[in-house]
Chains A and B, each alone.
Chain A
Amino acid sequence: MTTNGGANGTARSQLVHLGSERPTIEVLEAGEGAPLVFLHGAGGVPLWEGVLPLLAAHYHVYAPLLPGFGRSTGLECLDDQFDLFLHTFDVVDALGIERPYVVGESLGGWIAAEMAALRPRDVGRLALVAPIGLWRDTSPVEDLFGHMVHEMVPLLFHDPTSPPAQRMLALTELFSDKDDRSEEQIETLIGLARGFRTAAKFLFPIPEHGLEHRLWRITAPTLVLWGEGDRFIAPCYADIFGEKVAGACVKTIPDAGHMIGLERPQPYADAVIAWGSGGRP
């Protein structure tokens, strides 16, 4: 099974069974070279596009999907956030990868940072891309679960008129008042709701569970990437990561909002690849 990325090529898909009464996880895979584990944000990986094929040109990219996303199941096996972090190590172990380069976006960035704090010796290198997980009353993270699609788009994208932003905006028609949805639209809607349920299980109502007190434990070389125009999580959070993670390198990307991987994939990929080879982006 493959995930179509159009001109960007495709990713292979495999199901990883973690054991009886444990989750079954869909892992998207592409490219060759050193392993890179990509942890997705609250939107999942609907298409193999943006930064993903660019990373796959240099790495063997593994993108495991959280339960509730794609074909992954087993959310009921994960009671709390620590189950979630340990589960992600289970997936890495099941793939036979040791001390990987972990790149996480938003929700995935939070998971990546927590993994690196929880088992510092098991994460080789880290790139946190607009991660959630911290909180300042002076700059509240926007409510992921309290907006309509047309309101989310300008929060997530630097340029709401860009094609990926417009594609997200088109989801609005799924929420029509009229009872005129096609079968395909219904399945898309149910799929979105299933993924969002997973995100809500760990992030509702405030996406903060004490990561800040654990950041000092991280020993992996850490790159922090942020879109300069991120209206969802303000770039001031990048500075906190930079300050609290020893040796972290903070880089902001111009003309990008929260969805850097879709809006500015090339500078994002360049920075991750440079950091991966031991350089500074």
Chain B
Amino acid sequence: MKFSWFHLMPYRWLPADFRERYHSVWVDLPNALYDPVRGHGLYNEYLDMLEYAETMGFDAIGVNEHHQNAYGMMPSPNLMAAALARRTSKAMLLVLGNSIALYNPPVRVAEEMAMLDVLSGGRLIAGFPVGTSMDINYCYGQNPATVRDKYREGHDLIMKAWASREPFPWNGKYTKLRYVNLWPQPIQKPHPPIWIPGLGSIETWDWCVDHAYNYSYLSFSGYKRARKMLDGYWERLEERGAEANPYSCAFFQQVCVSDTDASCEREWWPHVDYFFNKCLHLYPGTSEAPGYRTEASLRAGVVAQAGNTNQNMGRNKTWKELVDERYIVAGSPATVRQQLEELARSLRVGHLLLGLHIGSSPIELTNRSTYLCATEVLPHLRPLWDEYEDHWWPKALPAAERVAAGSYNTAVRATVERPSHDGGEPGRDRVRRRDEVRP
């Protein structure tokens, strides 16, 4: 199995009476609530958490894209991934992802992802979500009736731009370009692995099968409720004659690890409560624009009540309910180990995206959980699915060929930082050494 440490980056200082005073955490929440100075600390704290996850041996570190909200402060996941690319060297960069239809022209996504892949030495996993309706329709004004068509066209353009070694024209319905000619192109050939986040529609499953993409099921309802949905996925793969390879599927699960089950509740409940009752406080009026879901998905959703943004989201539940119903996997390392193994086996997933930061949790608590998870939980799960090959993982440059940040400066410092030859007086007209610059 492989494990990604995934950050949502919520804003930490929503007021205690947030739910009473505001109707949503998304779309039209006034940004007067956002304090950029606190935000400065928070971005750096959050990036530290992701960097710590790399040092603890997580296979990938993950970021995503959302707009106009306090739930996740990454309108540009690529900026976060760029920051991480320079400060990390081993972990893969899971960018899950860029909502293709928002970018005009979509080659911008191809360019930035190629930049990330080159910068990181081929460590990029490229996620292509359609995006939530809140993000793409209400915040970014995309037409709900046509956005999926636009997404598909954008995808085709990006893939062709990555594959082509010659300029080509693109005469699409949504994008018209006389010259598509990508500089740079990604290191990974034919392209970085593609992961498609979805909420359980057959169309998306078929699309992943057709293109050999990873299907990532992202929900906050936990693995018990996901079972039915992913059973459908595996059945569909069988119908389509595709290999039931666990690595073709990723699953997101929020996890808290502490010394004991009791200490876990004591330490984590305020932050879990913050997440389920503040970060997921959504206003149904702007949750889903008409036409965002296909009629087939809508019909399935109405009947099954699955995947609907306001259903089963863990609101107003107690710690015990959230734990018992597996919205969260929480407790001592032994408890978490047992439940994650049950999760992986029952869902048959090879990629687990772990939400080890939850709601308002600070770095000390988060890193402790990350540490316990890495040292006392994951080693027991790693061998699972060893008999399968992971076709959905980056083919990065070998570690020895990857350039470490700062190594070029180190290599040349001694020859650069020396006096000039023009005979100028000491202290004038010469390059000053770094230690001389300081007072």
Contact = CB atoms under 8 A, between A and B. Distances in A.
A179 B138 CA distance: 27
A201 B295 contact: no
B374 to A, nearest CB: 39
Interface in B275-291: 284-286, 289-291
A145 B146 CA distance: 15
A175 B284 contact: yes
Contacts of A60: none
A148 interface: yes
A184 interface: no
A178 to B, nearest CB: 9
A266 B302 CA distance: 39
Judged by DSSP, the binding face of B is: loop
A244 B29 CA distance: 37
Is the interface on chain B under 10, 10 to 19, 20 to 34, or 35 or more residues? 20 to 34
Contact of B311 (A79, A177, A186): A177
B28 to A, nearest CB: 8
Given A146-B138, A197-B291, A199-B290, A189 B302 contact: yes
A181 B302 CA distance: 9
Contacts of A189: 302
Contacts of A147: 285
B284 A204 contact: no
A193 B291 CA distance: 7
A200 B145 contact: yes
Contacts of B295: 190, 193-194
B141 interface: yes
Contacts of A43: none
Interface in A153-203: 175, 177, 179, 181, 186, 189-190, 193-194, 196-201
B291 A200 contact: yes
Contacts, number: 60
Interface residues of A, number: 25
B305 interface: yes
B145 A201 contact: yes
A198 B291 CA distance: 8
B152 interface: no
Contact of B284 (A148, A190, A193, A205): A148
Contacts of A194: 295
A21 interface: no
A206 B302 CA distance: 28
A30 B298 CA distance: 34
B302 to A, nearest CB: 6
B29 to A, nearest CB: 14
A75 interface: yes
A204 B285 contact: no
Contacts of B302: 181, 186, 189-190
A206 B141 CA distance: 9
A137 interface: no
B144 interface: yes
B303 interface: yes
Contacts of A205: 137-138, 141, 143
B299 interface: yes
B310 interface: yes
A186 to B, nearest CB: 6
A197 B284 contact: no
B298 A196 contact: no
Contacts of B137: 145, 204-205
Contacts of B141: 204-206
A23 to B, nearest CB: 15
B285 A146 contact: yes
Interface in B126-141: 137-138, 141
A206 B138 CA distance: 11
Given A179-B305, A186-B303, A199-B290, A204 B310 contact: no
A197 B291 CA distance: 5
A174 to B, nearest CB: 9
A248 to B, nearest CB: 31
Nearest to A174: B302
A196 B285 contact: no
Contact of A145 (B290, B298, B311): B290
Interface in A183-238: 186, 189-190, 193-194, 196-201, 204-206
A121 B284 CA distance: 45
A219 B310 CA distance: 49
A201 B286 CA distance: 16
Nearest to B293: A193
Given A186-B303, A193-B295, A146 B143 contact: no
A180 to B, nearest CB: 10
Contacts of B138: 146, 205
Contacts of A190: 295, 298-299, 302
29 contacts: A79-B173, A145-B137, A146-B138, A148-B285, A151-B285, A175-B284, A177-B311, A179-B305, A186-B302, A190-B302, A193-B291, A197-B291, A198-B145, A199-B290, A200-B143, A200-B144, A200-B145, A200-B289, A200-B290, A201-B143, A201-B146, A201-B291, A204-B143, A204-B144, A204-B145, A204-B289, A205-B137, A205-B141, A205-B143
Interface of A: 75, 79, 145-148, 151, 175, 177, 179, 181, 186, 189-190, 193-194, 196-201, 204-206
Which A-B residue pairs are the 7 nearest by beta carbons? A196-B290, A197-B291, A201-B145, A205-B141, A148-B285, A200-B290, A179-B305
Given A75-B145, A151-B285, 16 more contacts: A146-B138, A146-B285, A177-B311, A179-B305, A186-B302, A186-B303, A190-B298, A190-B302, A193-B298, A196-B291, A199-B290, A200-B145, A204-B137, A204-B141, A205-B137, A205-B138
